[in-house]
Chains A and B, each alone.
Chain A
Amino acid sequence: MKSFWALLHRDVTLAIREGGAIGTALGFFLVVVSLMPLGLGPDLNLLSRIAAGILWIALLLAALLSLNRIFEADHEDGTLDVLATGPLPLELVTAAKSLAHWVTTGIPLAIMAPVLGILLNLDLAAYPILVATTLVGTPAVSFLGAIGAALTMKTRRGGLLLALIVLPLYVPTLIFGISAVSAGAGPTGLAASFLILAAISLVTIVLGPLAAAAALKVHLQ
């Protein structure tokens, strides 16, 4: 367990020291969200109605861009081979790395989301719900993304392939994330979709590291 936390700490520290990756994801998030009104027109009523959808989709795309760094750098410099032969089971290695991705990408994007909500005239009452759902939903984004990152680690044009593989898997997260935020859901609908979103995240936290570790084992053979 100690080596799990050590690995998590290392990955988070590396991501923060490099800085570039987090900043790029946040910048991309900002740019995509600000392009939306330019494409859809500045009608604030329309924008506030679809704000939750725009924010969630932009968040998924921003997270997608950072997925390939979960394993790629460690694969290139050989760290992954060392980790694979080390005492920590590969399932826990992938869990630690996915968790690190969530801490360094999921949480910043979730915190950034309400700030960008201002640009889209999102209803003020929806802000706490938005932060809560993005925080609860983004683990699924990181852990499912880790599967895709592990599968495509050695491929050329990996980025596009990663998007093709991972985005369909994000559909449940997207749907329940948005339905929790949209005003029409009402309090019962809100509780239900929030709980389902949490359940999806929990399922992927179990499934993701297993599948990602299986994929890494194939690559490292």
Chain B
Amino acid sequence: MQTLTQRLANPTRFMELSARLLPWISAGAVVLLAYGLYLAFFASPADYQQGETVRIMYIHVPCAWLSMMVYALIALSSFGLLVFRHPLADVSAKAAAPLGAAFTFLALLTGSLWGKPMWGTYWVWDARLTSVLILFFLYLGLIALRSALEDESAASKLTAILALVGVTILPIIKFSVDWWNTLHQPSTDFTSTVDPSMRLPLLVMAIAFTLLFFAMHLKAMRNEILRRRVKALRTQAVAGRDRLAAHGAE
């Protein structure tokens, strides 16, 4: 574990390794996604209560799962940056934030589209929807804070601090929203156990989305490393030109 993260600390080695891994992860995501979609639409029954709309679940649940997993990944990366000063930790956190926000948004959107036929309204202040909405706000805060700071190294560390604060408060937020929900909506229970015939497509789709995320995350990290190289070269070029100009003036 330690040795792997240490070996990855060299960006050049990470670029080599990720270049080799990326096609495999992408291919795995595509294959699993195709299989999952086949299962979701052709090989799974309609729910006896929810009818065909249950098929929204096969994309809604993976998105909701990713919304939480990506935040955990950001928190872990932030910890890696602040405690171990791992050079790739910040690249990972920065690359994951917009992706996590996108999947959280999709979880909210598909949840709302699932809710309309089920509950008769696009939005209910259900405990889970509400916590996911607040999670979305936390993502927006991370992105906004990073973009508001000019000094990139300070922006990384400050965003990491915010991510760790968020991950500390998140359980309290979840707990408070559940409490609030039982106060206001005592009798409605939207949770129901998943039938075995739906468990397989759900599992396949969840793994497919996770692979899809990791493929996108790797690509975004590679882009970010290249972006930083370009930036470093530009400042280096400007500094070199300034040195030349200073020599010429003498």
Chain B residues lying within 8 Å of A218, measured Cβ to Cβ, are 154, 157-158, 161
Of all A-B residue pairs in the complex, the 6 with the closest CB atoms, nearest first, are: A172-B176, A155-B148, A168-B137, A165-B141, A175-B176, A218-B157
Q: Which of A72-80, A96-104, A146-154 contacts B (4 or more CB under 8 A)?
A: A146-154
Could you name 19 residue pairs across A and B whose Cβ atoms are closer than 8 Å? A147-B165, A151-B158, A161-B148, A164-B144, A165-B141, A165-B145, A168-B134, A172-B169, A172-B172, A175-B176, A175-B179, A176-B179, A179-B179, A179-B183, A185-B183, A207-B165, A211-B164, A214-B161, A218-B158
Give, as a whole number of angstroms, the nearest-CB distance from B105 to chain A: 15
Give B167-226 interface residues, CB cut-off 8 Å to A.
Answer: 168-169, 172-173, 175-177, 179-180, 183
Does A221 reach chain B (CB closer than 8 Å)? yes
Does A35 reach chain B (CB closer than 8 Å)? no
Cα–Cα, bound, A167→B177 (Å): 15
Cα–Cα, bound, A106→B211 (Å): 47
Chain B contact residues, CB within 8 Å of chain A: 82, 134, 137-138, 140-141, 144-145, 148-149, 154, 157-158, 161-162, 164-166, 168-169, 172-173, 175-177, 179-180, 183
Give, as a whole number of angstroms, the nearest-CB distance from A147 to chain B: 6
Cα–Cα, bound, A196→B148 (Å): 34
Cα–Cα, bound, A68→B138 (Å): 20
Q: In the complex, are the beta carbons of B176 and A176 less than 8 A apart? A: yes
Chain A residues lying within 8 Å of B164, measured Cβ to Cβ, are 211
Cα–Cα, bound, A144→B141 (Å): 14
Q: How large is the interface on A (under 10, 10 to 19, 20 to 34, 35 or more residues)?
A: 20 to 34
Chain A contact residues, CB within 8 Å of chain B: 144, 147, 151-152, 154-158, 161, 164-165, 167-169, 171-172, 175-176, 179, 184-185, 189, 193, 196, 200, 203, 207, 211, 214-215, 218-219, 221
Q: In the complex, are the beta carbons of B137 and A156 less than 8 A apart? A: no
Give, as a whole number of angstroms, the nearest-CB distance from A198 to chain B: 13
A212's closest neighbor in chain B, by CB?
Answer: B161
B166's closest neighbor in chain A, by CB?
Answer: A169
Q: In the complex, are the beta carbons of A172 and B173 less than 8 A apart? A: yes
Q: In the complex, are the beta carbons of A215 and B158 less than 8 A apart? A: yes
